[in-house]
Structure 1
Amino acid sequence: MKMSPQQFLDWESKRITLLGMSGVGKTTLADKLPKQNWFHYSGDYRIGTQYLGEAILDNIKRRAMEVPFLRDLLRSDSIYIGNNITVNNLAPVSTFLGKLGNPALGGLSLAEFKRRQALHHQAEIAAMRDVPAFIEKASDIYGYRHFINDAGGSVCELDDPATLELLAEHTLILYIKTTPELEETLIERASRDPKPLYYREEFLDEQLAAFLAEKSYGGIDAIPPDEFVTWVFPRLFNSRLPRYQAIADQFGYTVDAREVARVENEADFVRLICQALSRA
């Protein structure tokens, strides 16, 4: 969706999609907007509760069944397992994605890892395609005036033009670009605390082959799971930046993380977007 600053100011029901790497400040920015006016739609929350909810629980139950004490209680329906996913706690989603590598260290086989990656890919597309319906629900059922779509960090990996076109049709797309300082921070953070991630299959195959050759591991089962995640993250990070920029160039607008960090309230947010529209 393209518009002038004045058109944006005159837009009675503002609808924004925030794009950018995980950790760049999308959720923090959304949380600064008045909750009585803005409906906060989290793509990752929708993925975890609607599209991967059963798969996440099955994974947890499978692990619980390995513990005799829990197995007996589960089989007798004496206990139940549930998710406690929130917008600010998406650990069950990342736990489901898992990490490649040595099963003795909690790693997954390549086939199982790719199966989960494919499920996440399908779920992320579905969650983004739900945005128009939730815009309608937010207004019609709950009475929210404005809508913000807090999209996941892997949206640029979808390779699904129809989904991006749908988002651009119904929302103004705002890409939050990292700064060199933030890039360094995010890469260092990922190295210190490697988390499961989504990878395009082509990217995964290419990087996995390079990793195995460089490290001389004999196969997937020999890989320490955290080592591959740490090794691949800077490469994933740098591969995503031009993808996000291409989306912004075609469908939306760009701001940088320094500008976003200065936003304290709704008025600041509106000014930020008007500045981005003016630059374009």
Structure 2
Amino acid sequence: MDGCGPANYRSQFGGAKFSRIRWLDPGTRCANFLTSTYDCRSSEIAAWSMIEGTDSDADDLCVCECKLEVSTDVNDLVLCNAKRFAAAMNDGSVRVVAYDEGVIEPVTVYSNLHAECSCNALCFNGDRVISGGQGGTLGLASVRSIETIGEQIFVSAHLDGQICLWDLRKETAPLAKPTFSWRVTEYFQGATAIGFGTEEGGIGFLDTRQSSYILNTIAMPFPVGTIWEVICFSFADFDGQSRTNVWLSRSVRSGNAFVTILINGFASVNTFDVSAKGILACSDNQMITYIDKNYLA
């Protein structure tokens, strides 16, 4: 375990290469999270509990409550509710799994969803789980990420740099092509804001809001390699009580001060997730890292 200030930045050896990490309660206690593995002798989905009241001298950051072994690599995890989640599998299936009181149990499996190609990404929208696969078409390359942006509306990011907006409210229209699509080099003025990562190590933001103040597409190049995952937040600098949003504080926005925190071991940071209290991240050196929001203030 590595300490950097009292309980603000800590790491623990997890014993596997992690493909995804997800808070189970991102807006409340922030006490439990899930991980999935890849490129291991035995792939698995695990539930962990944060050890409360620990400081930088403690031995452990978290403890593994339970595991579910699966037959192939897990590419993505998405929460459906507080006790149920879905996993995108490398064999092209989607597994629905339940977690309750320290036990992970399989619920059902949807097989061969992408014509024998792997299932790469998932999002939960309303009462539907939407999956994106490795197989592409003439107009769309393979899906790398899917994200819900509104009721029955989601975006997909593709291997060729295309971002597509899909609208499921039009029940009569087949889900054969997106409502809109644009390249990351273009600017589309629509209904929401979208963030994306590039293989050159940059992060870009498309602000597509209809308002009198429209941000241009901006890119923040970081001195790292491929960006595997991006999570977006509100653009508001203040919360409901007019307090500064710590995630948009000057120290975070002004440079690369915190970009190199997790890459001291020169290992790929594969996944991270953000809660009201802090960030969880996993890297190819099999470490689980927790960064408290106060560390970024």
What is the TM-score with the length of structure 2 in the denominator? Answer: 0.26
* Larger of the two Rg values belongs to structure: 1
More strand by share: 2
Comparing both chains, which one has the higher relative contact order based on Cα–Cα distances under 8 Å and sequence gaps of 6 or more? Answer: 1
More helix by share: 1
